[in-house]
Amino acid sequence: MDDKKIVITGIGVVAPNGIGKEKFWDALKNGSSGIKPISRFDTSEFKCKLAGEVSDFKPADYLGEKGLRELDRSSRFLCAAAKLAIEDAGLSITEENTDSIGVCTGTTLSSLWNIAEYDREVIKDGPLFTDAGVFSGTVANAASSRVSILFNIQGFNATISTGYTSSIEAIRYAANFIQSGRVHAVLVGGVESISPASFTGFYRLGFLAGLKGEEVSCPFDRRRNGIILGEGSGVIVLEGEAHAKGRKAHIYAEVKGAASAFDAYKLGKYQPQGKGLHQSIRSVLSRSRIRPEQIDCVQASANSVKEHDRIETAVLREVFAKPADGVAITAVKSMLGESFSAAGLFQVISSLGSIQEGFIPAVVNYTEKDPDCDLHYVTNTLHSRKASNVLISSFGPGGNNAALLLSKYQ
Amino acid sequence: MANKIEDELKKIVSTITEIPLDTLKPDADFFDDLKIDSMKAIEIVAAFEKKYKIVIPEEEIPKMRSLSKIIAFAKDKIK
């Protein structure tokens, strides 16, 4: 196996505003937001009420009834997205090729619900009488393992848990596996599900939108004041070029490069100059041999946090000499909320829409200009433009930063 | 009382094995006949322990290979 060029051949998505690539892309084109009042748990005691919650999701439609009871919500999201991606790629997994296919998943918060549920039972019924079935879903790699079990994928299985950047790191990790010749194809996923634990945690830390202003996800807007949580899953099939061509697969795009940098500053605080993000973007551009002026679109990490969007703007301003002239900047978290480890995959699948279908989704909810955020954002109305090179940025306050470059396949 | 326990145990086994109540045979061996894996067998035992707050001794667990064996054990312990 010697495949240096990495391509994307399959897409599966379970997003708050659409399930399946067509519905997800349509929602993005229409500026249709998935943010709505939380229905999974009671928010009456909180000031904040909204999340990018996945509703109208019927897992049996994708996975059948049998075995469903064993899967927690995150595993259902990821397995459904994986199923869609496998079908979309036309990838057949057999006894002969199973050792050359892997699974790599980015997730950080997805098992919190089960951990809390398991602990609640320990307290309520006593440690000897917990539900053994819940325990398997308390571990970080539960969802990823379920994909391997369900689809009999035996090449490797890894879970990457670096918070906000996990999806992009998972793509990088999987690409390395393919390039080193260990496997031909990898199902790369990102998944998160909202839970009372994550909601109250971010609420108590003061991270949620609505605590210090309007409860709205409005990246780059002057009114931005925090995140709205999101959930769901995205999965792509990553493949070596020769392998993909060998089986006559449709190629959505090429993964030109990925890079990351760590710039931990203070607990829960962003590195004020965005040093790591800058380094990641510079590094991915140089590795991909793409000049800033060749980038058509930036899928920003912007999540409506004051400092986050300011830093990202400053870094992009530095990288792109005249950003207003060329590059279109968008932020899908305006429609999806901040879904942490799943966010990168949502950005990637949106970018594949830009390359494949020629649209750049708008940053919705943008109404008030902020002098700190003065780039060429695609605001409120859809931008029709075939993108050849899309830069995806991903970072958070923990010090993790990552960048990915997707290009039209030629 | 005994019938109630029997019905409850049937429901537990049916839920975990995903075998409908009306087709679940009490004497069917979990492993040889129903082909369930060891994780599910443990889940059945754990659900039984949780429901009746009874701890099944380690050495007894391998003997719990069918619904009727669990029912017999339960009838003996829950009076």
pLDDT in tens, A349-365: 999 999 999 999 999 99
**Strand, helix or coil for residue A262:** strand
Tell me the pLDDT of chain A averaged across its residues: 95
Nearest CA in chain A to B47: A131
The span from the CA of A211 to the CA of B66, in Å, is: 55
Q: Given a cut of 70, is residue A323 above it in pLDDT?
A: no
Nearest to A305 by CA among A391, A213, A380: A213
The span from the CA of A185 to the CA of A151, in Å, is: 14
Check residue A153 and give its pLDDT: 98
Check residue A123 and give its pLDDT: 94
Nearest CA in chain B to A125: B50
> Higher-confidence residue: A153 or A375?
A153
**What CA–CA distances, in Å, run from A220 to A102, A306, A311, A363, A377?**
37, 8, 10, 9, 8
Q: Given a cut of 90, is residue A3 above it in pLDDT?
A: no
pLDDT band at A326 (very low <50, low <70, confident <90, very high): confident
Choose the closest CB to B50 out of A66, A69, A125: A125
Nearest CA in chain A to B45: A132
In residues, how long is chain B?
A: 79
pLDDT, tens digit, 9 for 90 and up, residues A196-214: 999 999 999 999 999 999 9
Per-position b or e across A21-54, b if 16+ CB within 10 A of its CB = beebbbbbbebebbbbebebeebeeeebebbbbb
pLDDT band at A1 (very low <50, low <70, confident <90, very high): very low
Host H or E run for residue A120: helix A112-125
Check residue A130 and give its pLDDT: 87
Question: Distance from B27 to chain A by nearest Cα, in Å?
Answer: 23
Nearest CA in chain A to B17: A67
Tell me the pLDDT of chain B averaged across its residues: 90
A142 and chain B in contact, CB less than 8 A: no
Q: Given a cut of 50, is residue B23 above it in pLDDT?
A: yes
Residues of B in contact with A131 (CB under 8 A): 46-47, 50
pLDDT band at A167 (very low <50, low <70, confident <90, very high): very high
Question: Distance from A341 to chain B by nearest Cα, in Å?
Answer: 29
Choose the closest CB to A133 out of B18, B43, B55: B43
A69 and chain B in contact, CB less than 8 A: yes
Choose the closest CB to A132 out of B15, B18, B42: B42
Check: pTM over 0.90? Answer yes or no: yes
Query: A133–B15: do the CB atoms touch at under 8 Å?
Result: no
Taking a C-beta distance cutoff of 8 angstroms, is the pair A4, A70 a contact? no
Taking a C-beta distance cutoff of 8 angstroms, is the pair A35, A50 a contact? yes
Residues of B in contact with A132 (CB under 8 A): 39, 42-43, 46-47
Host H or E run for residue A113: helix A112-125
Check residue A389 and give its pLDDT: 97
Lowest mean pLDDT among A34-38, A271-275, B67-71: B67-71
User: Look-up: residue for tokens 């932020």?
Assistant: A331
A64 and chain B in contact, CB less than 8 A: no
Residues of A in contact with B55 (CB under 8 A): 128
Choose the closest CB to A129 out of B16, B43, B49: B49
The span from the CA of A38 to the CA of A225, in Å, is: 19
A128 and chain B in contact, CB less than 8 A: yes
**What CA–CA distances, in Å, run from A3 to A236, A240, A247, A256?**
18, 5, 14, 13
The span from the CA of B1 to the CA of A4, in Å, is: 68
The span from the CA of B10 to the CA of B12, in Å, is: 5
Query: A132–B55: do the CB atoms touch at under 8 Å?
Result: no
The phi and psi torsions of A318 (rounded to 5 degrees) equal -70, -40
Q: Sort strands A18-19 and A6-15 into parallel, antiparallel or unpaired.
A: antiparallel
Check residue A8 and give its pLDDT: 98
Query: A129–B53: do the CB atoms touch at under 8 Å?
Result: yes
Lowest mean pLDDT among A101-110, A322-331, A347-356: A322-331
Q: Provide mean pLDDT across the span A21-40.
A: 97
Q: Given a cut of 90, is residue A255 above it in pLDDT?
A: yes
Rg (CA), chain A: 20
Query: B49–A128: do the CB atoms touch at under 8 Å?
Result: yes
Per-position b or e across A133-151, b if 16+ CB within 10 A of its CB = bbbbbbebbbbbbbbbebb
Query: B42–A67: do the CB atoms touch at under 8 Å?
Result: no
Distance of CA A204 to the CA centre of its chain: 24
Nearest CA in chain B to A134: B43
Q: Provide mean pLDDT across the span A61-87.
A: 96
Q: Provide mean pLDDT across the span B27-36.
A: 92
Check residue A376 and give its pLDDT: 85
CB-defined contacts A:B, below 8 A: 27
Check residue A383 and give its pLDDT: 77
User: Look-up: residue for tokens 């009456």?
Assistant: A44
The span from the CA of A305 to the CA of B8, in Å, is: 52
pLDDT, tens digit, 9 for 90 and up, residues A79-105: 999 999 999 999 999 999 999 999 999
A368 and chain B in contact, CB less than 8 A: no
Query: B53–A130: do the CB atoms touch at under 8 Å?
Result: no
